[in-house]
Amino acid sequence: MTSQAKCPFHHAAGGGTTNKDWWPQQLRVDLLNQHSEKSNPLGERFNYAEAFKKLDYHALKADLVKLMTDSQDWWPADFGHYGPQMVRMAWHSAGTYRTLDGRGGGGRGQQRFAPLNSWPDNVNIDKSRRLLWPIKQKYGQSISWADLFILAGNVALESMGFRTFGFAGGREDVWEPDQDVNWGAETKWLADDKRFHGQRELDHNLAATHMGLIYVNPEGPNASGDYLAAAHDIRATFYRMAMDDEEIVALIAGGHTFGKAHGAAPESHKGPEPEGARIEEQGLGWTSSFGQGHGKDTVSSGLELTWTKTPALWSNNFFENLFKYEWELEHSPAGAKQWVAKDAPEIIPDAHIPGKFHKPKMLTTDLTLRFDPEFGKISKRFYENPQAFAEAFARAWFKLTHRDMGPKSRYLGPEVPAEDLIWQDPLPAPSHQPSAADIADLKARIAASGLSVSDLVSVAWASASSFRGGDKRGGANGARLALAPQKDWAVNQRAVQLLPTLVDIQKASGKASLSDVIVLAGVVGVEQAARAAGVAVDVPFSPGRVDARQDQTDVASFAVLEPVADGFRNYRKAPVGAPTEALLIDRAQQLTLSAPELTALVGGLRVLGANFDGSAHGVFTDRVGVLSNDFFVKLLDMGTVWTATDASAELFEGRDRKSGAVKHTATRADLVFGSNSVLRAYAEVYASADGQAKLVRDFVAAWTKVMNLDRFDLA
């Protein structure tokens, strides 16, 4: 017999059957371990904002301008200009953003990693990133990849004669792929999947119509060529990326003013995507076996067309062609459905062969802009008023590429627009500068207000915990808890009822903003609760918050921040379609919390009586308002037996094992700290005899972190 050689190591990188294979529904506590300092080669002392300030910004832009026309033999520029493909790279970097959970977008440089670096819709964008490498290498860590992607798109537009609205730096790179973004459950790219239900209603937590697309199929729904049906899909996905009809038309037409689509041959000529390519490909993918594999022989999307007469220069020719000609269906050399202008002259230049011209062509989704009644009105207006089109595209492009950056206080660089835009969640200038004596006076007033520890903690948590780490929205700054829509959310009703008392204190003092007073109320509550537990602490407090006005608050835009569940407050809408404990992990991840921070906060909030409705679920203590470790001690007590109260298994009774008497009630968000092996390990730390003081310290640290999540001025 011939024995097979076997690897002597037990696969240091994992391998074999994993826990997820054995238990597919296992809780993803590991999502809270993403992007730790262990994966960051720059170290915790690196400050990107400070590095960016040292950047020779204008020299960088000058180098980018030179790059645009410095065509390389290994990937020659269409029309002698890399601008169009740089615009596509920037667009696709930012275009994964969705409003529902604030995830995706270009703010973290995720296009470098799987799955985005290998999505079919991102085919050959790897070449654009590689073209940028010499510039990134030159400027090093003073410009992140995330910022460079977007800036390259801006400079590309400017070098092609377009006046952009502005640019802001401040996107800090991460060093591993996000694991928390739901791209879909399909196991096949671009499959005819089940994302749509009923009247083509897109699954609520997805933003694109197919796995592997940024937006929609350019050939129409399921490659049907139906440009009228495409309107529904276009709206379904663009609306979820915070765009309205005018912005949709401006973006599609503006983007398709430049460059071309590539489908010189059947897609069977394309090799594997970057993540599946051979090691010698060195991170590149989609190597083509057709002709030279690039230039006139490029195979990317499978569509083969150029939209305008000046594909490397801004113009209104997209709309001129769209309305001037009638269109008939044809197939690209790759077999994709596209449209050619009937009886039109050959006026479109070839990308690589001088003197060769083609007829105007369009995508199915381009024709949607003319023939859909509402899109058609906007397109006609832009056709007749090119300046309006240019202005709309400039603003929509800026929104597309900056939507996930958070407030303007995070913006860096000399080209930050002065205008405040409603989608930036603007805030007024500070009008209070409370001194240490003012803060002490406010704390005394709050302590004497008659509000309980539970009240004080509840109102502060409600205000701060709206923060989302994905797009840096929400949080305590602005006191939007007192404004629509947050004041009307069911989860906030208990907290909102407490606001008048704090408003009176704020007005009587006049020394601080309401948002500072709300956070300071939490400080008072936590300090009182810690002292009652025998641990004296001073909870850190940083004044400087301001109060937003209702006219600075886009109600529709903020509505997406309303939680479907908040396990920290034992809140859950029904039905939701996901396990309560998974929603708790999701909420913690949005708050950028680690698993130990999550554990300390839930255990502390329970004994402080911070449930959204004042219920006793999970309040395993007779000393409500004392920051004790009772939650963990009682949860891990083997003297209690838990049973579900109904078939939904959302609410449970804990009975004395001997007498059968009901001792406690709990939700899944409570019991998961005893059932999940990882969370139980943390719970055991706090339930131990020496866990009381540690719980207080850890709770205070995690609490302060949440209160300051939107204080980008403190970084």
Q: Which residues are catalytic?
A: 92
As a whole number of angstroms, the distance between CA 593 and CA 605 comes to 15
516 contacts 427 by C-beta, under 8 angstroms: no
Q: In whole angstroms, what is the distance from residue 37 CA to residue 199 CA?
A: 46
The span from the CA of 260 to the CA of 281, in Å, is: 25
Closest CA relative to residue 455, chosen from 498, 401, 501, 404: 498
Indicate the SS3 state at residue 473: strand
Tokens representing 578 are 């996901």
> Helix axis angle, 364-371 relative to 373-384, nearest 10°?
90
Rounded Cα–Cα distance for residues 40 and 144 (Å):
13
3-state helix, strand, coil in the chain (%, to 5): 45, 10, 45
Pairwise CA distance, residues 327 & 143, whole Å: 45
H helix intervals, 95-214? 125-139, 145-159
CB-neighbour burial class of residue 281 (10 A; exposed 0-12, middle 13-18, buried 19+): middle
CA dist 523 and 387 (Å) reads: 53
Report DSSP state, residue 113: S
Distances (CA, A) of 73 to 42, 80, 122, 292, 293: 34, 11, 21, 11, 11
545 Cβ contact partners less than 8 Å away, ≥ 6 residues apart: 476, 477, 478, 479, 513, 515, 516, 519, 711
| Burial readout 119-132 (b: 16 or more C-beta within 10 A, e: otherwise) | bbbbbbbbbbbebb
Strand partners, 260: 306
For strand 357-358 and strand 361-362, is the pairing parallel, antiparallel, or unpaired? unpaired
Of 268, 259, 264, 260, residue with least CA distance to 332: 264
Residue among 109, 68, 113 nearest 86 (CA): 68
Alpha carbons 329 and 340: distance in angstroms, whole number: 7
Tokens of 121: 């819709």
Q: Among residues 215, 195, 208, which one has the least CA distance to residue 364?
A: 215
Rounded Cα gap, residues 227 and 252, in angstroms: 14
**What token pair was written down for 616?**
């006793």
Give the span between the Cα atoms of 449 and 70, in whole angstroms: 69
Can you tell me which residue has the tokens 């490909």? 281
Distance CA 547, CA 499 (A): 14
Q: Please answer whether residues 618 and 597 qualify as being in contact, where contact means their C-beta atoms are separated by less than 8 angstroms.
A: no
Triad 28, 32, 38: Cα angle to 5°? 125
**Strands (DSSP E) along 120-246, which ranges?**
196-197, 201-202
C-alpha–C-alpha distance, residues 147 and 93, integer Å:
10
DSSP state of 552: G
**If you search the block for the tokens 């097979």, which residue do you land on?**
4
Per the CB < 8 A criterion, the answer to whether 249 and 378 are in contact is yes
Structure tokens at 547: 């109060």
- 232, HSE (Cβ side, Cα atoms, 13 Å): 12
- Rounded CA-CA distance 435/171 in Å is 33
